[in-house]
Amino acid sequence: MRRPDVVVVGAGSAGCVAARRCAEMGLKTLLLDKKPRSEVGQKVCGDEISKSHFEATGIEFPKDQEISSPIAGADVYPPSMSNELKVRGWTEFDGWTVNRLSFGQRLLNEAIDAGVAFRAENRVGSPILRKDRVVGIEYKDKGEEKKTYAKLVIDASGFAGTIRNKLDHPLVEKTIDKEDVALCYREIVKLKMPMAEPEVARVLLGGRVAPGGYAWIFPKGMQEVNAGVGIAGGSGKGSPKSHFLKFKKEYPLLIRSKVIDAAGGAVPVRRPLKSLVADGVAFVGDAAAQVNPIHGGGIGAGMRAGIILGEVAKRAIARKKLSAKGLWHYNISYQTNFGKRLASLEIFRRLLQAVSDEDMDFGFEKRILEAGDLMAANRGDGLSLGTVDKLRRFRRGVSRLSLLRDLQKASGLMKKISKTYDAYPSNPSALEKWNDSVLAIIESAEFG
Ligand SMILES: Cc1cc2nc3c(=O)[nH]c(=O)nc-3n(C[C@H](O)[C@H](O)[C@H](O)COP(=O)(O)OP(=O)(O)OC[C@H]3O[C@@H](n4cnc5c(N)ncnc54)[C@H](O)[C@@H]3O)c2cc1C
């Protein structure tokens, strides 16, 4: 393809979906990945994805060998490992663990079938700029230096943000703060014994197991799991691998399990970038910080964005308006919907990270938060405690007023940030003022 309309950098879940949508909209689309074709889709991940993302995007459910296990519910454990919260019957949570490679290969094949030109083993180096506008990319095609010009460049390169991190543009957040990153390590292991509940995910909270994060055990069949630890980035928290190995020695289910695969990774756990576009460029997936800040799930969040972006790209190219302003509808569409949900969950993440293990144990014992609250928060409905509810919880939690106060404060801030996202600016010139108000809310989200 000599002169594509769109070039997409990175064939992860977000890049494949965005590229496919662009092609379906009739755009000449080139998709590049540094990996060999047979490895596209392979990714260090917890492998869990909820059905809701497929229902929202119209992307076909995983099937056959793409599915490792169906997931129907979770047990969430506090540090004491007792009084766990059993999340059952919430359909928006249920889904699958997937075989990442098969699933990723399917997304790639769907993009190619839609007309996307795909080039494997093409490592993108940097954007080509004309003044402030991105007009193409420089890359190495199996070692050979090349350039491609396009009307729109989409950075879908994942956590690396290969294009984003080279742009000096007032709309672009080049870097992500360390504190807003989860550092993870996970193993896929074969268990000694089959599981009693092979469709239930387990999540373990607390500073001892995973400072500022959590440990997970996601079933991948009767006798296989994806187990890992994610901890808050920033100094002094140790390595996720050492936390995981300690956890593995202590957690009965994992003892004497056989390692099938082991690796580490990182994921952004904050609100999406303040702007998902700049002149001639758009960001999607981890490159756009489109990840759920409390559990680090980003496959669905990026696929949702990819669909919107393809449609916006079509309109912008038809009107020959590839400036940030011309692409702005992607911001409005995503930020006022799913983006707002992610932003409100950043507040919740900050609350969870500030609660001591003792308070967390107390909260679970007294059921200060219930499964419905977690689901409502995840859905983007905040922590909406009614008056009767408040009284009931107040009675149960009266000996830890500070915890109740923090919960109340988080609930208020989640509402406030949601409203701010509802009022996402209609054009780039108002972005800085809007972002200042977001930052003021984030900065006030101090607890404990
Ligand atoms: C340990 C861990 C556990 C997780 N668990 C879950 C989970 O259970 N559920 C969930 O939903 N999410 C989970 N996530 C997050 C999820 O994996 C990501 O949010 C999601 O994969 C992001 O998709 P993406 O397409 O944006 O990026 P990626 O999947 O990272 O894809 C980026 C692609 O870009 C390519 N690329 C990068 N740089 C270049 C370059 N310079 N040139 C060309 N190509 C390039 C890469 O090869 C890759 O194919 C987890 C993350 C981690 C680290």
The pLDDT of residue 387? 62
pLDDT tens track for 100-140: 999 999 999 999 999 999 999 999 999 999 999 999 999 99
Residue 302 CA, ligand 1 centroid: distance in Å: 10
pLDDT tens track for 274-320: 999 999 999 999 999 999 999 999 999 999 999 999 999 999 999 99
The pLDDT of residue 159? 98
Residue 50 CA, ligand 1 centroid: distance in Å: 17
Q: Is the per-residue pLDDT at 371 higher than 80?
A: no
Could you tell me whether strands 152-155 and 281-283 are parallel, antiparallel, or unpaired per DSSP bridges?
parallel
Least confident of 240-254, 332-346, 384-398: 384-398
For the chain, what are the domain ranges?
Answer: 6-47+100-176+272-322, 68-98+178-268, 342-444
Average of per-residue pLDDT values in the chain: 94
Fold classification of 68-98+178-268 is D-Amino Acid Oxidase; Chain A, domain 2 (3.30.9)
Predicted confidence band of residue 377 (pLDDT cuts 50, 70, 90): confident
The whole-angstrom separation of Cα 48 and Cα 72 is 11
Question: Which atom of ligand 1 lies closest to the CA of 226?
Answer: 8
Give the CATH class of 6-47+100-176+272-322.
Answer: alpha beta
Equal fold, 6-47+100-176+272-322 vs 68-98+178-268: no
Which parts of 251-384 fold into alpha helices (H)?
A: 299-318, 324-334, 340-354, 357-365, 371-379
Q: Which residue's CA is minimally distant from atom 5 of ligand 1?
A: 46
Residues framing ligand 1 (Cβ under 6 A): 9-15, 32-35, 40, 43-49, 123-124, 156-158, 160, 162, 184, 186, 228, 265-267, 285-287, 291, 296-300, 302
Contacts of 207 (CB under 8 A, 6+ apart): 79, 356, 357
Q: Residue 217, SS3?
A: strand
* Residue pair 229/237 in contact by the 8 Å Cβ criterion: no
Could you tell me whether strands 201-205 and 74-77 are parallel, antiparallel, or unpaired per DSSP bridges?
parallel
Average pLDDT in the 403-431 region? 94
